[in-house]
Amino acid sequence: MFKMTPTILKNFLTEKATRLYPFEIREPYAHVRGELVNNSETCNFCGICAAKCPSQCIKVDKKSATWECEPFECVYCGICVDACPQESLSQKELYRKPSAERQHIIIKGEIRPEKPDAPVA
């Protein structure tokens, strides 16, 4: 006990190394790859992002022009962002906040022609 006393006192008197997340959120690092965002104005529902996603958390239906994502299955790898020929996907510099409920993102739009210089998947 006496051996531990200096350590106990030090822990009481110094700043805590941990935070009370999610009530205290640290400022994200610069260029952090966070929450995925799809721009319904530019997405042409080609499905390349869904084919490349290692988590298989994106579904695209070209016929109904629907893009769906299970955000809590996303591992923030950014592969879909790099693969999107329309540059329609981006990642915020923030992670999605924890939630007690399952979330599902659905974007509906219209089929658009591909960019002329879009790479072939």
Shortest reach from residue 85's CB to ligand SF4, in Å: 6
Distant-in-sequence, close-in-space partners of 44: CB < 8 Å, separation ≥ 6:
86, 88, 111, 112, 113, 114
Task: For residue 78, state whether it binds ligand SF4 (rule: CB under 6 A).
Answer: yes
Taking CB under 6 A as the criterion, the residue among 79, 95, 96, 105 binding ligand SF4 is 79
Radius of gyration of the chain (CA): 21
The least CB distance from residue 97 to ligand SF4, in Å, is 16
CA angle (79, 46, 108) in 5-degree steps: 100
| Measured distance CA(66)–CA(110) in Å, rounded | 8
Q: Does 109 bind ligand SF4 (CB under 6 A)?
A: no
Question: Pairing mode, if any, of strands 58-61 and 105-108?
Answer: unpaired
Could you tell me the smallest distance in angstroms from the CB atom of residue 114 to ligand SF4?
A: 8
Residues 107, 38: contact at Cβ < 8 Å? yes
Q: Which of residues 33-72 bind ligand SF4 (CB under 6 A)?
A: 36, 38, 43-49, 53-55, 57-58, 60, 67
Which residues of this chain interact with ligand SF4, rule CB under 6 A? 36, 38, 43-49, 53-55, 57-58, 60, 67, 74-80, 84, 86, 88-89
